[in-house]
Chain A
Amino acid sequence: MNKYNNNSLIPNNQQQLTQPQKLIVEINNLDHFFGQGQLRKQILFDINLQLQAGEVVILRGPSGSGKTTLLTLIGGLRSPQSGSLKVLGQELVGAKKSILVEIRKNIGYIFQAHNLLESLTARQNVQMSLELHEGLSSQEIKAKTTAILEEVGLGDHIDYHPHNLSGGQKQRVAIARALVSHPKMVLADEPTAALDSKSGRGVVELMQQLAKEQGCTILIVTHDNRILDVADRIIELEDGRIKVDSNSN
């Protein structure tokens, strides 16, 4: 294994260039393996990465390059094995499952498939996210839900069930669900994959706009070249290593 990796230095250089900002994600020397014994296969090699507050970052790379694995590790959906992975200041390597579950509450997720609950209306789907947080009255929950659904342009579809919404509308509900509780970070996996180019574009711009308003970091895994321009920074993974990490604009 080649321990010396040029690319891993880039984020550090960058940090020195830009003004010191609050780090949302700080990854040092992260390796990740799948499988046991003979079948043990290394997926991620010596990842070093830092995400600042308010950044829109696109993570791209060919299939099998480890993008999704990295995303699930950052999101606390998978237990990291070695190295260091700090999310919102919390070290996740060796952390208990309950700590991972707590971290998840501060992260919004947008999936390729919208993954809305079919039996719930748009409003109820969004509320499920707010109900995780203590100390909100039902009036507050209702007001916040209505407000965010209006912001994503679904003010007149609040009480629709997912099967009565179009693909783009469903993804907008998913965005509303991810952003309603003002997460510090949003992780999105191929958010445009199931959409035509127009609604895909709309969805990404909406994410960018809402995230800028709330000052939250967005990490998007995508193959979709049409949306690269929304990113402040593009990271390319290849064979489990960070190949390029650059400011796009």
Chain B
Amino acid sequence: MKTPLAWLQLTHEKMRLLIALAGIGFADMLMFIQLGFQNALFDSSVILHQAFNGDIFLMSPQSDALGFTRTFSDRRLYESLAVDGVESASSVYLNFGNWKNPVERNTRNLLVIGFNPANNILDLPGLAENLDQIKLQDVVLFDEQSRPEFGPIPELLQQDRPAVTEVSSRRVRARGLFSLGASFAADGNIITSDINFLRIFPDRERGLVDIGVIKLESGANLDIVLAQLRQKLPKDVEVFSKEEFIQHEINYWQNSTAIGFVFTLGTAIGFIVGTVIVYQILYTDVTDHLSEYATLKAMGYRDSYFVMVVFQEAVILALLGFIPGLAIAQGLYFLAAQATNLPILMTLNRAVLVLILTIIMCCVSGAIAVRKLSAADPADIF
């Protein structure tokens, strides 16, 4: 086995290696955080979409994202029932309401979701067993994963104390919990019946809904029904499959807001910071060993050997620096998830993505540092 020069050169100066690994770890952590928040943003904004128990969705073509929707007439839903293969069509009302914290009395906006409880169209933990409650007047279900600023509703309910408060100046009572989670659009959520929804928001008109949820009969062909609905329904509604419905939301956040750009920029900055740090380390390494490399050249080592050494060092740095970066990012994900109630989790895909980015980052630095090697002229060392 050949002497592993790259490894020995790197590990010889322990302090420099530690600083290099700290730098790469930091760059990796930066990339992880940016990508993590970006994904959390996308994941959190489509939890509700994924929970909808439907195959086809209707929205106004002017709707951007949940919480920023325009209404359309529920007549389109009745029309859709005429299409072969459609089993049921339900309407969903959405609006931001001003929730008063029942303990501290300050108010804050959360998303109010209203639909007919006769037909459960949302697949959320805790919802099915509490659904009957909202058939009562002015009763709502509270999202237990809402941010704590909305008040200790789960604790109040657990102690059987009344959780009476106001939403947009209407007195309501929280009688049950479900689990959805905060998103970038909404810090908290409540669910109530369509009738209670219209009581809370008297200026909303009955029959003008935000989302239509269509369920297909078993055995119906999704593509055929989609095509038929698109053909049959007027252009004042847009027809989505569930996948398109989710993608529409992600596209909004990614392309129509600064958020996607900001996170991509943040990731790019992490990448550049890492590149500069690794370049600095590799450049110093080559410079410090210039006379040693010139000696090896005098002995008959080819230029390609030194290029290999520099790239080996780059890859070793990438792999070693990735480990602390991953560990720190895991810890920060945990803290961020605690603090924001956003679903920030390490995924294998993202770990692999950042590892690949790290290796590219180190190789780019290596490619720049390699140019310094030509300064190692064996004729100069005599």
Contact = CB atoms under 8 A, between A and B. Distances in A.
Contact of B292 (A68, A104, A117, A138): A117
A120 interface: yes
A127 B8 contact: no
Interface string A92-116: 0000000001111100010111011
A72 B382 contact: yes
Contacts of A115: 291-292, 294-295, 381
Give chain B's interface residue range (CB within 8 Å of chain A): 20 to 34
Interface string A56-86: 0000000000001001100101100000000
A72 B379 contact: yes
A1 interface: no
Interface string B271-308: 00000000000000000010110111111111000000
A124 interface: yes
B378 A77 contact: yes
B1 interface: yes
Given A115-B291, A118-B12, A119-B8, A128 B299 contact: yes
A109 B299 contact: yes
Interface in B1-25: 1-3, 5, 8-9, 11-13
Nearest to A112: B382
Nearest to A117: B292
Nearest to A108: B299
A216 to B, nearest CB: 15
A99 B308 CA distance: 21
Nearest to B4: A124
A132 interface: yes
Contact of A131 (B3, B289, B378): B3
B3 A104 contact: no
Nearest to A126: B3
Contacts of A31: none
Among A103, A131, A221, max chain B CB count under 10 A is at: A131
A240 to B, nearest CB: 16
B8 A77 contact: no
A28 interface: no
A131 B2 contact: yes
Contacts of A132: 299-301
Nearest to B8: A119
B8 A124 contact: yes
B292 A118 contact: yes
Interface in A178-221: 189, 221
A29 interface: no
Interface string A111-149: 111011111100010011101100000100000000000
Contact of A75 (B1, B291, B296, B298): B298
A104 B300 contact: yes
B382 A189 contact: yes
A119 B9 contact: yes
Nearest to A161: B12
A53 B300 CA distance: 21
B379 A78 contact: yes
Contacts of A103: 300
B295 A138 contact: no
Among B9, B11, B296, B299, max chain A CB count under 10 A is at: B299
Contact of A104 (B1, B5, B291, B299): B299
Contacts of A72: 378-379, 382
A77 B298 contact: yes
Contacts of B299: 104-105, 109, 128-129, 132, 177
Contacts of B300: 101-105, 132
A156 B68 CA distance: 79
Nearest to A114: B295
A172 B11 CA distance: 25
A231 B12 CA distance: 40
Contact of A111 (B9, B295, B296, B379): B295
B3 A128 contact: yes
Contact of A138 (B1, B302, B378, B382): B1
Among B289, B291, B301, max chain A CB count under 10 A is at: B301
A127 B292 contact: no
B298 A104 contact: yes
Contacts of A112: 382
A221 B382 CA distance: 10
Interface in B353-382: 378-379, 381-382
Contact of B382 (A71, A104, A120): A71
Given A104-B298, A111-B381, A132-B300, A127 B9 contact: no
B379 A77 contact: yes
Interface in B68-120: none
Nearest to A128: B3
Interface of B: 1-3, 5, 8-9, 11-13, 289, 291-292, 294-302, 378-379, 381-382
A-B CB proximity, top 4 nearest: A119-B12, A105-B300, A104-B300, A115-B295
Interface of A: 68, 71-72, 75, 77-78, 101-105, 109, 111-113, 115-120, 124, 127-129, 131-132, 138, 177, 189, 221
20 contacts: A68-B382, A71-B382, A77-B382, A102-B300, A103-B300, A105-B299, A109-B298, A113-B291, A113-B381, A115-B294, A115-B381, A116-B292, A117-B292, A124-B8, A128-B296, A129-B299, A131-B2, A132-B300, A138-B1, A221-B382
